[in-house]
Amino acid sequence: MLRLVVDLNRCQGYAQCAFLAPDVFAMHGDEGLLYDPRAEEAQRERLAQAAAACPVQAILVDELDLDRNREQDRDTTAAAEAPDA
């Protein structure tokens, strides 16, 4: 799963993202951007294109790897609970 963050203060409503990834981004009126902050992995390529095409670079696409985060938390907890040798 991917996490999207759009700096709506920076967004100027050029709609390049809505054109390149219409399943994720949509324009509401002339300048209001609507988007789903979580996107499926299958959208990765379109989201990368949309972020790169944004004239004001207002889009950040980040991985949301929930399984990896759970493993890291489990490893950290195990290490903290391990007795000193």
Residue pLDDT, tens place only, 18-27? 999 999 999 9
Domain ranges of the chain: 2-81
* Among candidate residues 58, 70, 78, 65, the one with its CA nearest the CA of residue 12: 58
Q: Which fold has domain 2-81?
A: Alpha-Beta Plaits (3.30.70)
> pTM for the complete prediction?
0.70
Q: Residue 32 burial by CB count (10 A; 0-12/13-18/19+): exposed, middle or buried?
A: exposed
CA dihedral sign of residues 79, 73, 42, 18: negative
List helix spans (H) across 9-84.
Answer: 16-20, 44-53, 66-81
Q: Render pLDDT for 38-78 as a digit per residue (tens, 0 to 9).
A: 999 999 999 999 999 999 999 999 987 655 545 555 555 55
